[in-house]
Structure 1
Amino acid sequence: KDTNVKTLTTSAYAKIMNVADDSSLQLYSSVKIAKLGAKETLTVDIVTPQNITKITPDMYRNAATTLGIEHAKITVAAPIAVTGESALAGIYYSLEQNGAKVSDESKELAQEELKTLSQINEENSGKSNYDADKLNVAMTDIKSAVADKGDKLTEDQAKTIVQQTINNYNLNLSDNQINLLVNFALNLSKSSIIDSASFKSSLSSLKDSIVSKAGNTFSSINLKFDANKTLENSKNIFAQIWQAIVDFFTGLFK
């Protein structure tokens, strides 16, 4: 018997997920986290993929970077078909049982991210030009751009970052799906995780890992795209337009 195995009870789950403790609640997902060396990247292995119906390994990895998890191997399994969205509770529980403090803010943010990614993926699955790898890489770029802007990120800037990023990856998303990403970006900008010195490097490693296993999916896409440069370009274009207006009226009165 593995003495490091900790069972997540329904009452513990209710507390972690901030929901009512219901005795009829059934928990089926199982999560294991193994700490790796500093040179190792974050990996997620779903050992029962047929039973995790909505969440992909890269979605879990994206959410894990938002929790600040870096060098670890996460294993997910379920004995029956489940969405997989509640597996994050097992990750929080495992971290806290091993002495790490996971804030409610971080839990809510990671849960929001996982729900956003899974919803967008489900609603676009099977559509032409859509690819889950593109969505996950786009999310790493959005998060990196938000980290650069910090807590001064405005709603207009968040909209520009999201729109330009999904355009770069040829993701044709609905207005509602774009709004989900914008809301997440704004919530992320208020989180302490973006102040972590390793947050952007973790995102870069995750992006490189997804791209390297995606074949030719990204062959015609600019992987050095920087969403924050679009904000600077927007400011420059506005300044140029304003200067042209000033010059026009100045010319009238000469």
Structure 2
Amino acid sequence: MIKTMKTTMMILLAFALIVGLSKPAYATTSINEKLGVPILVLGGNLSDAQKKEVRELLHVNDDQAVEEYTITGEDAAKYINGNPEARMFSSAKIVREEEGTGLTINIETPDNITEVTSEMYANALLTAGVENATVDVASPVKVSGHSALTGIYKAYDVQGVELDKERMELANEELGVATDLAKKDGLSQEKVSELLTEIKKDIAEQNPATKEEVEQIVQEQLSNLNISLSEADRQMLVDLFNKMRDLNIDFDKVKNQLEDLTNTIKDKADELGLDEGFWNKVANFFSEFFQALSNFFKGLFN
């Protein structure tokens, strides 16, 4: 009898555990009355079905827990002098955080955001003046990811946080430079992000007063990171960071966030095996392989 009761109890416990695990768990978050509810900005060209999918991707389960807006080409024209006819698909959820928290960027659909990495978003947002926020980005279709930046700016605007338009435009230009450089042979997205971050850190430390000093900083970081660029690409970087100097962007203010960004980039590069030692091993492997192949054929004909 006792054995039967034990068996029955074990079955009931197992059943309860299975039922509990089978139910979806939704985290309940209280509303931050100081900083406001999260803002959801959806690409204006999404269908209703795609909007529903994006809400799920961005973990928006309660329509009352967020403020929701749509971004269009007209917003791109307003915030970054973009094309008013642009089609917008990438979307974002923005949660403002307490001072000193820093920036956290999560790309929920990395396969569909094809050109912009979380580090590129973070770098551009720091340039634009966005700090202390958690930003989730998603798209149900393959896109470059640029329109999400416009959505983030709109989110701050509707919350009454005024961002400098020149800085927003410059941040968009920076994002364009980053994605262009990442398409070059031998340059990974991580390497490009590291380059931009290290230049900003040097600008914060050295406070260059002239374009020539900016050019020296750019060249030093290219050398430090063993990056070889064409003269046109090198000049593109110099011009970008000289504009930042002209706007008196104080990167010293966000130095800790730049340091955190550097560590994140290096950790990601290590995980992907993108360190210099890895590529040296690859080069050595192929060198030894072709030498062995050459010796093999020589042996056949001797």
TM tier, smaller: 0.7 to 0.9
Following superposition, the deviation at residue 182 of structure 1 comes to 0.6
Structure 2 counterpart of 1:185? 241
Following superposition, the deviation at residue 207 of structure 1 comes to 1.1
Where do 5+ consecutive residues of structure 1 fail to align?
221-254
Does residue 142 of the first structure (1) align with residue 211 of the second (2)?
no
Following superposition, the deviation at residue 132 of structure 1 comes to 2.7
Same amino acid, percent of matched pairs: 32
SS at 2:69 equivalent: coil
SS at 1:5 equivalent: strand
CA deviations 1:205-243 (Å, max 9, x no partner) are 2112222333265587xxxxxxxxxxxxxxxxxxxxxxx
CA deviations 1:25-70 (Å, max 9, x no partner) are 4221111111234453422111122221211111111111112223
* C-alpha RMSD of the superposition: 2.3
Following superposition, the deviation at residue 110 of structure 1 comes to 0.4
Following superposition, the deviation at residue 145 of structure 1 comes to 1.9
Correspondence for 1:6 among 55, 58, 69: 69
Segment of structure 1 superposing worse, 207-216 or 102-111: 207-216
Computing the radius of gyration over CA atoms, which structure comes out larger, 1 or 2? Answer: 2
Distance change (3 Å), C-alpha of 1:7 and 1:188: same
Within-5 A mapping of 1:37-76? 37-38=98-99, 40-76=101-137
Please report the TM-score for the alignment, with normalisation by the length of structure 2: 0.64
Distance change (3 Å), C-alpha of 1:105 and 1:151: farther
Provide runs of 4+ in structure 1 moved above 6 Å.
none
Following superposition, the deviation at residue 9 of structure 1 comes to 3.7
Distance change (3 Å), C-alpha of 1:197 and 1:138: closer
Correspondence for 1:203 among 243, 251, 258: 258
Structure 2 counterpart of 1:18? 81
Whose relative contact order is higher, 1 or 2, with alpha carbons under 8 Å and at least 6 apart?
Answer: 1
CA distance in 1, matches of 2:221, 2:102: 24
Please report the TM-score for the alignment, with normalisation by the length of structure 1: 0.75
Question: Across the two proteins, how many residue pairs are aligned to each other?
Answer: 212
Where do 5+ consecutive residues of structure 2 fail to align?
1-62, 278-302
Following superposition, the deviation at residue 180 of structure 1 comes to 1.4
Within-5 A mapping of 1:90-101? 90-101=151-162
